[in-house]
Structure 1
Amino acid sequence: MQLTRAERHQVKLRLGLSGASGFGKTYSALLLAFGITNDWSKIAIIDTENGSASLYSHLGDYNTLTLDEPFNPERYIEAIETCEKSAIDVIIIDSISHEWSGKGGCLELHEQLGGKFQDWARISPRHQAFIDKILHSSTHIITTVRRKVDYSMDADMNGKSKVIKHGTKEITREGFEYELTANFELINDKHLAKASKDRTGLFMDKPEFIINSATGKKLMEWCNKGISLDKIKEEIFKCETIEALKQLYAKYPSFQKKTHPLIMERKEQLDDVNGQLISSEQVVEPKELIENGNNSSEQ
């Protein structure tokens, strides 16, 4: 356990888009993704919306992966891993609502177990594994979420029950947006958006706006500030001693999980070099001793 100085690192974006049907979640996500990568071929959509991802193929040659029911967490994870293996830069999951409330999703799985509170002990870890996959992916990820009107039954001053409308609510497990870099809510069918969560500080408390590729570009510029993993990799393979590798490993604690295999690889390279030098010295040394001995006797 040790204190380290806070440093800004380059990160992969975790973006959320939520809104009612017809508000432009898929279209906005595609424009965001293009702004991030500037290459349609490096974008993939995991489509749970009956092929709606292909409706915007005129925009560019992006990739689609159709995900049908059952919408359990493991199938979402498999879809993400398929995209990662294809060298995709930006994955759009359209949408994650099915993982929670769709056919074979978490709510249905819970009901199949009996619907008791204690049954969540078997479902929550599966849902968390899906969330962790999003958070730890090697790519930028954009998720879309459906929204529905949220109502409750309250009593008025006369004690009579009445329906109270509380705005809209995301159809996924509560708290998901707090895991994201930024979360944008599309508020009408004109594609106007506002930030409900924003770690970048670029959009929070700003006027409503229309998401486009410039939005993605702005987010990418923010994302690229700070220390990158590529820079650390260069430093690792410039190290000439084991001690230098130890110091470098300690220097970037937040990257240790990713740099450990590279550190070990470089250590093996240095061990091989040192071993060859020792072996070479062992072969040459006896010859030098003989020559030195002859020279001494001649004198």
Structure 2
Amino acid sequence: MTIVFQRATRRRVKIKMLLKGPTGSGKTYGALHVADGLAPGKIVLLDSEHDRSEFYADVVPFDRAPLEEHTPKSYIAHIRAAVDAGYEVIIVDSLSHCWMNVLERKDAYDKANPRSNQWTNWGLFGAEWDELMRTILEVPAHIICTARSKMAHEQVEQGGRKQVVKLGLAPQLRDNTEYEFAICFDVEQTTDRRHPAQVSKDNTNLLSEPGKVWDLADGAVPALIRKWMETAREVERPLPETQQSIDDALLALPEELQAKSRRRVAQYKQQGFPEAKAQEVLAQLQVMIAGKSTKPATPHAAAAPSETAPTPVVDSAPMAPPAMHDAEPEPASSPESSALAEAERYTVMVGQEQKALGSMTTKALEKLRPMAAERERTDLVANIDVVLTARRQAFASNLSVTVDASAAASQSPSAAFENAVAQHVARLGAPSYAAAGRTTLPFPAGQYQLQMLNTACLQRQRRSGRIHVEQAAAIDAVLDYRSANPFDPAVIQVEETLAPDEVPHAGVNSRFD
């Protein structure tokens, strides 16, 4: 895996802002004034508030589009359409409606499937929200989102008279959503025509003066942001004709690849998209249109994985030991191998999820063992000991093949392992992508080829300490290839699959509360 270090520079990024406050506090009005200060005449408002944005049509010139469906998918489609139409500021009013839609559909699903696991059901709906947040953060446009806050009331004195005002509490969003934005304002409700707001988060350090109350309608906030952006390095862009060719190529892609390719191009635009890189991306898109893969041709290359969870190459028990080893595995019929396989299949309840011991990291097992001993779970302790002993023996065996024992003794296990990987690659050379992709990793459901696993899964396995040097070198080769070929259709497709270690599996013989 190639790691590149470079000097950090402040790029002219697009601002992602969240305005949260109680109903009637002026979030929409304030958002329009901030947007008008950032890019006048190039504003679109996505309206889920029953066309109430039209009340401000005489205040700030803007275009609008109603959000008739409040699903994350609908929000994403509207945001991408706005970017394609050339708008520079997109106001999402309100993000709370989308989150309430997710909660309502999750609740309905739980009631319709009473025997399902309500905790793991979040995987079905939380992923939609995560995709919406990725879209908001990645698109090359300023985005201002509004969110309703839960309300409380307090009597305060204003202008010598006592008034009852609404106080915004926690926003009606998924927990910690506000941390995704660069700037967050808490908008206050007042009885005058001001629109005061206090900063709760500011990555730019422009607005975070302690105790400062900003008026979102007076133009000061966007003026500071514009000045700050002007001093940043311009994000590189391709020539207009090249960008137009890329847009045309994206439209010509098959529907199943178009959305994923658009997301990748949007990421490049956000981070910097020089002409040379744009030409490279255009060439890859043209290859995809022609129906050819950029993947190196090989007579042994496996078929691209499907959009569903990958099918295991081997679906038989017992599972292969996940510990690092270079020696040939013992026959399945040997007592030692059978005992290890049985121990690795032994399941335990960790939090709200049932996990097999073989799928847990060594560090997690070492932390779990004293807890099990304290609760006198002798069966669990015995199985943990079997797994840990096998891994330690395999680790020692692996290092003795490639690393001098005295040198390994002076290093941490992780450093010794990385040294072993480096020596292995130096001795044999990095594996080809085709060979690396056919390398398998064991999971509770069976053996899976690396080319069938998404990048996040490969990175988790690489860090787990439960692989041997050949597998580590193969994972590095696959990750390097994917980094260099992000528009390979097989790469795009496999990134959308659910990895085996992300699929909840039922326990067979244990519960650990």
TM-score (norm 1): 0.70
**Counterpart AA for 1:211:** L
Partner residue in 2 for 1:52: 52
- Which stretch has the larger CA shift, 212-221 or 88-97? 212-221
> Any residues of structure 2 matched to 1:191-270 within 5 Å, and which?
191-204=195-208, 205-212=210-217, 213-230=219-236, 233=238, 258-259=272-273, 262-263=276-277, 265=279
**Counterpart AA for 1:209:** W
- 1:99 to 2:101 alignment: no
- Report how far residue 222 of structure 1 moved: 1.5
| 2:138–2:270 Cα contact (<8 Å) kept | no
Partner residue in 2 for 1:155: none
Structure 1 residue runs without a partner (length 5+): 151-165, 238-253, 270-299
Partner residue in 1 for 2:140: 138
> Any residues of structure 2 matched to 1:43-192 within 5 Å, and which?
43-69=43-69, 71-101=70-100, 105-114=101-110, 116-149=118-151, 168-189=169-190, 190-192=194-196
- Which stretch has the larger CA shift, 254-263 or 210-219? 254-263
**Counterpart AA for 2:140:** S
- Cα RMSD for the two superposed structures: 2.7
Residue 111 to residue 203, structure 1, CA distance change in 2 (3 Å): same
Partner residue in 2 for 1:5: 7
Residue 29 to residue 267, structure 1, CA distance change in 2 (3 Å): closer
| 1:8–1:227 Cα contact (<8 Å) kept | yes
Identity percentage of aligned residues: 27
SS at match of 2:83: helix
| 1:43–1:91 Cα contact (<8 Å) kept | yes
| 1:13–1:223 Cα contact (<8 Å) kept | no
| 2:17–2:182 Cα contact (<8 Å) kept | yes
| CA offset digits 1:236-267 (Å, max 9, x no partner) | x9xxxxxxxxxxxxxxxx87975377435289
- Report how far residue 167 of structure 1 moved: 6.6
- Report how far residue 35 of structure 1 moved: 0.6
Structure 2 residue runs without a partner (length 5+): 112-117, 153-166, 243-267, 284-513
| CA offset digits 1:39-60 (Å, max 9, x no partner) | 23x1000000011111011123
| 2:17–2:183 Cα contact (<8 Å) kept | yes
Residue 208 to residue 255, structure 1, CA distance change in 2 (3 Å): same
| CA offset digits 1:88-144 (Å, max 9, x no partner) | 01000000000101xxx1101211221611100111111100000100011100000
SS at match of 2:110: coil
Residue 25 to residue 7, structure 1, CA distance change in 2 (3 Å): same
Partner residue in 2 for 1:246: none
Residue 46 to residue 260, structure 1, CA distance change in 2 (3 Å): same
**Counterpart AA for 2:6:** T
Distance in 2 separating the partners of 1:52 and 1:132:
27
TM-score (norm 2): 0.42
Distance in 2 separating the partners of 1:267 and 1:198:
34
Distance in 2 separating the partners of 1:176 and 1:19:
15
- Report how far residue 224 of structure 1 moved: 3.2
- Report how far residue 215 of structure 1 moved: 1.2
| 1:48–1:95 Cα contact (<8 Å) kept | yes
| 1:16–1:177 Cα contact (<8 Å) kept | yes
| 2:48–2:66 Cα contact (<8 Å) kept | yes
Residue 257 to residue 229, structure 1, CA distance change in 2 (3 Å): closer
Distance in 2 separating the partners of 1:218 and 1:179:
21
**Counterpart AA for 1:67:** L
Distance in 2 separating the partners of 1:60 and 1:128:
32
| 2:19–2:184 Cα contact (<8 Å) kept | yes
**Counterpart AA for 1:98:** H
- Report how far residue 229 of structure 1 moved: 2.0
Which protein is richer in strand relative to its size?
Answer: 1
